């Protein structure tokens, strides 16, 4: 696969992941910063949350709410 094609695919996946995370943030009314990790896996077969089986690549997105404690500012 050409480098240009890989870049296009990375951008397409990035847009899809961004939309999914944005939807999750709005749905759960998250106001804190979020750390997002996306992994592309190539399972031989997987079953989605509706019970339908699929083959091929799957993108797993983990979102972690980042707890920033504003009281931790130390003055030196």
pLDDT, tens digit, 9 for 90 and up, residues 43-57: 778 888 899 998 887
Say if residue 26's pLDDT is above 90. yes
Interval 63-76: pLDDT, tens: 888 876 655 554 44
What is the spatial distance between Cα 49 and Cα 28, in angstroms, rounded to a whole number? 18
**Residues 6 or more apart from 35 whose CB is under 8 A from it?**
63, 64, 65, 66
Question: Which pLDDT does position 68 carry in this prediction?
Answer: 64
Domain map (residue ranges) of the chain? 3-72
What value does the mean pLDDT of the chain take? 81
The larger pLDDT score, comparing residue 33 to residue 67, is at 33
pTM assigned to the model: 0.58
**Residues 6 or more apart from 21 whose CB is under 8 A from it?**
34, 36, 61, 63
């Amino acid at each position: 696969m050409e480098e240009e094609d890989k870049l296009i695919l990375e951008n397409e996946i990035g847009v899809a992941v961004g939309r999914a995370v944005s939807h999750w943030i709005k749905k759960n009314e998250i106001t804190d910063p979020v750390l997002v990790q996306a992994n592309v896996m190539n399972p031989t077969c997987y079953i989605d949350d509706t019970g339908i089986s699929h083959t091929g690549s799957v993108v797993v997105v983990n979102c972690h709410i980042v707890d920033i404690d504003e009281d931790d500012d130390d003055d030196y």
